[in-house]
Amino acid sequence: MTVVIDAGHGGHDRGGIPGQRIAEKVMTLDVAQRLRNVLEASGYHVVMTRDSDVFVPLGTRVAIANSYRNAIFVCVHFNATNRMGASGIETYFYSRNSLPLASAIHHFVVGGAPSGNRGVRRRGYYVLRKTNIPAVLVECGFLTNPTEGAYAQTASYRQKLAEEIAAGVRGRSSVGGALSTTRVATSETIPLQPYMDQTKVTSSKHRKSKSSHKKSARKKKTSSKSTGSEARYASTDPEA
């Protein structure tokens, strides 16, 4: 089994939000390297999309993942927002065959981290949507939250995150078939997590805007603007 590890951001792409004190690209690379070491010690073949502070385009990250058939793709990120109180762990997937992997990784990371559970979410991030193998993106906490930011800056916590993600990779085949709201499993079987599908938010907004000809015209302008933003965002952010 090959595990392709994708450390979010890198090079000129610092990650996070403008003015953020802790560079996300540094934290993601450190966790990714630690994860590689843990998985290699367990006998996995590991491929890194980046192993230094370089910028790797989205298409290249996906191409690396898709060049391995018997593989899984794990993208490591940290969250950021202007609201300092925001906190917690969340795990993203897109294809249905990625849900067991997302459930297992989320189960272990949430169980081992002193942060809240923000849930498993289905969303069409580029690196999840374009990969042909099971793929997840784990947000390991908010660097803009004083407490979680302080945790992330300690080597022991980053090692803990790596170990819990690795436990999820190893436990992906033990995911139970029934949905469960239990945060931490009490049995050997890891529960298949309930998840929020965030892929339909945009289409519901479009449906509401069809009530009149004027609104339809306004919608076209908005849609055009939003597509441009998405393109700009996707060119620099591996999450897009």
pLDDT tens series, the chain, 240 aa: 999 999 999 999 999 999 999 999 999 999 999 999 999 999 999 999 999 999 999 999 999 999 999 999 999 999 999 999 999 999 999 999 999 999 999 999 999 999 999 999 999 999 999 999 999 999 999 999 999 999 999 999 999 999 999 999 999 999 987 554 444 444 468 999 999 999 976 543 444 444 444 444 444 444 333 333 222 223 333 333
Length of the chain: 240
Say what the pLDDT of residue 201 is.
62
- Residue 59 in tokens: 């298409």
The answer to whether 93 and 99 are in contact (CB under 8 A) is: yes
Specify the pLDDT at position 213. Answer: 42
pLDDT for the residue 189: 86
For residues 197 and 92, is the Cβ–Cβ distance under 8 A? Answer: no
pLDDT at 200: 79
Handedness of CA 234, 98, 168, 177 (dihedral sign): positive
DSSP state letter for 132? S
Give residues with Cβ within 8 angstroms of 233, minimum separation 6. 240
